[in-house]
């Protein structure tokens, strides 16, 4: 009987879907791309998506965040000492998690973006966009030919997303352009109109820092309105801080980081209020959080 049971188990395992790899529907056309970036699918369906921010290199913390209910994880490599090797280990440790890995790269360089997509990121967040050329470079290095000039080499992307990754990567990798200054606001129409840009993000803190204006100031809100109107006009996703979740049109949000969530969770566990208060609908200033 034992050999028969073993044979049965082996046969059953062969029909199990590979962990972390979305399966193509049986009735899908052969030419249809396989979309495994669930963030992209949700945005196409008119849904909002929220990403938890990760700055820690601890794989256990990453996995906790990845399984907490976020749509994606905003892996912070611009304002953290995280290395690509550390992030690769984090993503691999939680392969199959529901939260899709997005990386805010330090800059739109070929090296940064190539490493980010090779280790499995399906979202590339480009900071400090103040030129069209910067975003074009990001698209070029994130996409395979004929849409871009991404080279094909080693990486864990295939083990994460399937053996057909090369064929479907261009349809799954998202580019998010961050507008953080008046100079970025001035060219937002051109940025939003670029083929290959999936979302434009209005960075609340830096818009304030670079303009000298605070949220609620008419001139500040005029900048946000311009980003809002021109992004939606181009049919792209519109991003902002989670505090702006109830602002009309916004659908792509950066949520709190692990330190903030641990702190609010501890407060709740001790019987206090999980939040620190603050004005409703106003994003907190990044970098001012208590540690």
Q: For 157-187, how does the pLDDT look when each residue is reduced to its tens digit (9 = 90+)?
A: 999 999 999 999 999 999 999 999 999 999 9
Q: What is the pLDDT of residues 230-280, one digit of tens each?
A: 999 999 999 999 999 999 999 999 999 999 999 999 989 998 776 655 566
* Domain annotation for the chain: domains and CATH numbers: 35-269 (3.20.20.60)
- Percent of the chain, pLDDT > 70? 84
DSSP labels, 178-198: EE-SHHHHHTHHHHHHSTT--
Report pLDDT for 271: 87
Burial 160-179 (b: 16+ CB within 10 A, else e): bbbeebeebbbebbbbbbbb
CA distance 85 to 247: 37
Q: How far apart are CA 101 and CA 99, in angstroms?
A: 6
Residue 9 has pLDDT above 80, yes or no: no
Q: CA 224 to CA 213: how far, in whole Å?
A: 12
- Over residues 183-202, the mean pLDDT reads 98
Sign of CA dihedral 180, 71, 42, 169: positive
pLDDT at 5 (0 to 100): 40
- Residue 152: helix, strand or coil by DSSP? coil
Number of neighbours of residue 181 by Cβ within 10 angstroms: 18
- Residue 276: per-residue pLDDT: 56
Instruction: Judge contact between 256 and 219, C-beta under 8 A.
Output: no
pLDDT at 4 over 70: no
pLDDT for res 243: 96
**Residue-level pLDDT at 30:** 53
| Structure confidence by residue, pLDDT tens digits, 72-105 | 999 999 999 999 999 999 999 999 999 999 999 9
């Amino acid at each position: 009987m034992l050999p028969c049971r073993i044979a049965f188990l082996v046969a059953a395992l062969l029909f199990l879907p590979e962990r972390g790899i979305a399966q193509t529907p049986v009735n899908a056309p052969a030419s249809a791309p396989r979309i495994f970036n669930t963030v992209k699918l949700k945005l196409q369906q008119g849904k909002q998506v929220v990403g938890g921010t990760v700055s820690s290199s601890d794989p256990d913390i990453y996995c906790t965040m990845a399984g907490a209910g976020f749509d994606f994880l905003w892996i912070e490599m611009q304002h953290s000492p995280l290395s690509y090797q550390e992030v690769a280990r984090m993503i691999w440790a939680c392969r199959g998690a529901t939260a899709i890995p997005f990386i805010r790269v330090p800059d739109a360089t070929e090296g940064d973006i190539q490493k980010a997509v090779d280790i499995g990121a399906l979202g590339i967040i480009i900071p400090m966009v103040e030129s069209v050329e910067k975003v074009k470079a990001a698209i070029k290095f994130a996409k395979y030919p004929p849409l871009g000039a991404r080279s094909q080499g080693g990486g864990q992307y295939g083990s994460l997303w399937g053996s057909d990754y090369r064929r479907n990567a261009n349809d799954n990798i998202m580019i998010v352009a961050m507008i953080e200054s008046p100079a970025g606001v001035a060219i937002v129409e051109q940025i939003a109109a670029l083929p290959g840009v999936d979302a434009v993000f209005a960075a609340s803190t830096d818009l304030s820092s670079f303009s000298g204006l605070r949220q609620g100031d008419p001139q500040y809100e005029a900048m946000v309105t311009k980003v809002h109107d021109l992004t939606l006009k181009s049919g792209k996703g519109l991003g902002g801080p989670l505090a702006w979740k109830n602002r009309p049109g916004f659908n792509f949000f950066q949520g709190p980081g692990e330190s903030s969530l641990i702190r609010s969770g501890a407060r709740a566990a001790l019987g206090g209020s999980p939040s620190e208060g603050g004005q409703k609908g106003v994003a907190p200033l990044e970098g001012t959080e208590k540690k």
